[in-house]
Amino acid sequence: MTTDGTGAATRPPFASEPGASDPDGGRIDRWSRRSATVPFRVKVALVWVVIFAGLAFLFWAADFDNDWIRENIWFIARGLVFTLLMAALGIVLAVLLALVGALGRLSRNPIAYGISGFYTSFFRGTPLIVQLFLFYLAMPQTARNLFDRFPNFLPQNFADFFTWTSFQVGVLVLGLNYGAYMTEIFRAGIQSVSHGQSEAADALGMTYRQKMRRVVLPQAFRVIIPPTGNEFIAMMKDTALVSILGSALESMELFRRAQLVGNADVRPLEALVTAAGLYWALTAIFTFFQSRLERRVSRGYVRAAAPTGRRGKERGKVIATGTGGSERGAPAGYVLDAPDIPIAGHPHAGGLDEPAVGVPTLPPEQEEP
């Protein structure tokens, strides 16, 4: 701590220090000790309750029309079907493209390598919203121009074939865009499988396809699935961008519906809040399922039976003891998780002395053999 005169003068004495006479120091120490008995999760829950109470007050004070929300929420929520459908189809396309793209990036074939390189470069290098307009507006226009130039070589319905609805364009562009990003995820996942695995498959006499399907990809998927789940959740939110293309009522996703009724009734704020809440609920549900899936795919990598559902509890415990306020040697991995506000300013409060960089600790399920 500080050694200069002023620093020492303002520093509250430690409770254990002989001759600690400042009554304030003792009070803070009692605070932190009592705080340590409350489980971390309870504290976090309390924080959430306070935030929600604050928001509720805000809505009440801002004269939010709750009746309007009640009347229109189901109309808006019907858009979830299209949001989900678009994201589901989009992620399927993205996974396929990412798989092919990653195999291309890892290939020694110059054609495969070149094409996948161009693909990832373009779709990662341009904004999603630009890609949406390109495919929605520029693609049919290009097809029409092409048809005008080569009417004898192209089929009659050539231009129609490239005129897609906003839903179709949404699926295509989200798939292409996310597939480009996920190519890197897949490539890293495939490369994370040790070379020895590939050699063992070769030595058995497997073909490239057999090796990939039976040995490499199943192991790579363990690494690939968690971030793919994240991409899916992110994609569900990016479906909102597709709303700017406009669409017919029967295929409108959530945000477009919210805008429609919100503008019609001059209740834009209520509509926005409803949309946000629905997106949030949707992603929260999928985040929950994703964490369960993550646990499942680690099968075969755990020496003991999988410790399902125990991690959270243990984490809470460690933190409860680690933030007692007088433990300098708390494990580095938990520094981030120690926001014990009541003892802020106490020289021994963990997390103030050190910059809050959490050393990411590997969850027990993920340990390599």
Considering only 214, 292, 296, 310, the residue that binds other proteins (CB under 8 A) is: 214
The CA distance from 200 to 196, in Å, is 6
Q: Which stretch binds other proteins (CB under 8 A): 29-37, 57-65, 248-256, 294-302?
A: 294-302
CB of 360 to other proteins, least distance (A): 22
Could you tell me the smallest distance in angstroms from the CB atom of residue 103 to other proteins? 17
Q: Nearest to residue 133, comparing CAs of 158, 160, 91, 164?
A: 164
| Paired tokens of 265 | 């009734």
Q: Using the CB atoms, write b or e for 114-128: b if 16+ within 10 Å.
A: eebeebbeebeeeee
Residue with the two structure tokens 């959270």: 312
Alpha helix (H) residue ranges in the chain: 5-10, 23-37, 40-61, 66-77, 79-105, 110-125, 128-133, 139-149, 158-161, 166-191, 195-204, 208-210, 217-242, 254-264, 268-297, 311-322
Least distance (Å) between residue 313 CB and other proteins: 25
Instruction: Looking at residues 162 to 181 of the shown chain, list those that interact with other proteins (rule: CB under 8 A).
Output: none
Cβ nearer to other proteins, comparing 248 with 362: 362
Q: Is 300 in the site for other proteins (CB under 8 A)?
A: yes
109 forms part of the interface with other proteins (CB under 8 A): no
Task: Give the list of residues 6+ apart from residue 80 with CB closer than 8 angstroms, or none.
Answer: 254, 278, 282
Piece of 60-68, 266-274, 301-309, 329-337 that binds other proteins (CB under 8 A): 301-309
Stretch binding other proteins (CB under 8 A), from 14-22, 127-135, 157-165, 217-225: 217-225
Cα separation, 349 vs 225, in Å, equals 38
Pick between residue 85 and residue 297 the one whose CB is nearest to other proteins: 297
Is 229 in contact with 286 (CB distance < 8 Å)?
yes
- Closest contact distance (angstroms) between CB of 230 and other proteins is 22
Instruction: Tell me whether residue 206 or residue 234 sits nearer to other proteins (CB atom).
Output: 206
Return residues touching other proteins (CB under 8 A): 194, 196-197, 199-200, 202-207, 210, 214-215, 218-219, 222, 299-303, 369
